Structures are given as structure tokens and as C-alpha cells.
Chains A and B, each alone.
Chain A
Amino acid sequence: MAEAARGTMPLREERDIVRCRQQVRALAQQLKFSLVDQTKMITAASELARNTVTYGGGGEMHWELVQDAARSGLRLRFEDQGPGIADTQLALQDGWTSGHGMGLGLSGSKRLVHDFDLRTAPGQGTCVTITRWR
């Protein structure tokens, strides 16, 4: 039986951040990502999962194995119904933080993946989609 190509997991508490990393590791290994590529994708997922839990008030991660003409990849979507972000340009700069972090969550994870999409508005929650190709 083929492995499922997509799924969803909750991001409600700190422990879910660890579970998210484990899930992303398993998926990246399934896609035969190199060790460095695995590490980058897991680290990006960890940053975004923490944002969802800590600043978004909890949410979900949706994952999907994606394929285009020449390559396969892993796409992750982090969604919350939290306060959202007013100034996304500012939020994507190094050092911007809404809480107690180092302000590298969004800008740093963007550097670790190939495709990065941020959709958010005040009061509308936040949705970050990242893709890393093999």
C-alpha cells in the first residue's frame, strides 16, 4: 500500500513541536532528502510550529508530498487563528519578534526552504506555507 501523500497534525502544546519535528523527519527521510536538507526542513518546521503554538494560540500543520515535472518535495502549511501579523514586511526581517524569541522564526525559516508563502492579517490568523524540493 502506498504511503499517504498528505496529512494533518495538531499544534496545541509544546510537546506537539517535538512531534512535528519527528513527523517532518520521517517524511523527509521517506523522500530521501540528504541529511543537510532534512535538518534544514526540520529546523524550519520547528520554528514555524513554535510560532503557531506560542503566538498563534495553537493550530495545525498540514503536510503534503508534492511532485512537479522534475522533482519531488515536501510542503508544510502552518495555520492558526491567532492575532495575525500587521506588518509582514517587518515580520520577515531578522530581529523582529512579537514575543521572547530571537526574531529569527520567520526570516530564518524562509532561508532554510525553497518556497515560502506568508498569509496573515490582524485578527485573521496566520498561514505559512513552506516547500523544500529534493
Chain B
Amino acid sequence: MDRIPILRMGAVLLVTIQVDLEDQMALQLQDDLADRISATGATGVLIDISALEIVDSFIGRMLAGISGIARVLDATTVVVGMQPAVAITLVELGLSLPGVRTALNVERGMALMGEADPARWRDG
């Protein structure tokens, strides 16, 4: 099974999902991110889903799960780049991703993380 790569940029872990996600890969990413946050002391997780053509309830649950795990490990998660058609579908499906911070793009996601924790952001 392929793994989704996790890049580190200072205090932020960056994940770009570029494949049609199998359920098992999504679960693996959740585990891998928990390990990497813990190992690196990262204070932010940025997940770029601009290449994802759908987000169904399973992937939505994975994103919510990552946000929750990261929060408990003292890191802020921002999901960026959701396509408009995906957003429309997700809301109609009944998922509004409670507890998941979102931003239009990577730049705004980074800015959001800076706001969330300016002191540590500077240190990072």
C-alpha cells in the first residue's frame, strides 16, 4: 500500500493528498501524522486537499479525526484547497466538518496557523 508523504516545514507538517484515497491509506495517514506530531513537536498540520475530487463521509471522518488527534497533541490542523464542487457536495451529504479548520489555500492556511499560535509560530 502507498503511503501519503508528510513533509516538515519548520513547526508545520505539510500533507498534500494527490491520490484517490483508499480507506486504509486514510487511516494510515491518521496514524502517521500522530506519530510525526509527537516525534517532531510540530504545532501545526496543513492538509492540502485541492487535488481531491471527492470527500465522502469516510474521508470527512478521517479529516475530523486528524484534527482531533492533533488538538490533543497540542497542534492546530488546517485543511486547505477544497474544490467548490466538493464543498457543495459535502454539505448536501450532511457533513460540515465540525471541529475542522479550513482555509481557501495554503497561504491563508499558514496565516491561520500563525494567528492560532503566534508565539510558537515565531519560535518554529
| Residue ranges of A at the interface with B (Cβ–Cβ < 8 Å) | 14-15, 17-18, 21-22, 25, 35-36, 38-40, 42-43, 46-47, 50, 94, 101-102, 104-105, 107-109, 111-112
Contact = CB atoms under 8 A, between A and B. Distances in A.
A42 B54 contact: yes
Interface residues of B, number: 24
30 contacts: A14-B22, A15-B22, A18-B20, A18-B21, A21-B20, A21-B54, A25-B53, A36-B88, A38-B85, A39-B83, A39-B85, A39-B86, A39-B88, A39-B89, A40-B88, A42-B54, A43-B89, A43-B90, A43-B93, A46-B54, A47-B56, A47-B93, A102-B61, A104-B57, A104-B95, A108-B92, A108-B93, A109-B93, A111-B92, A111-B93
A101 B94 CA distance: 13
Contacts of A40: 88-89, 92
A50 B58 contact: yes
Contacts of A21: 20, 54
B24 to A, nearest CB: 6
A15 B90 CA distance: 22
B23 interface: yes
Nearest to A25: B53
A94 B93 CA distance: 10
Given A39-B83, A47-B57, A102-B60, 5 more contacts: A43-B90, A50-B58, A101-B57, A104-B57, A111-B94
B57 A105 contact: yes
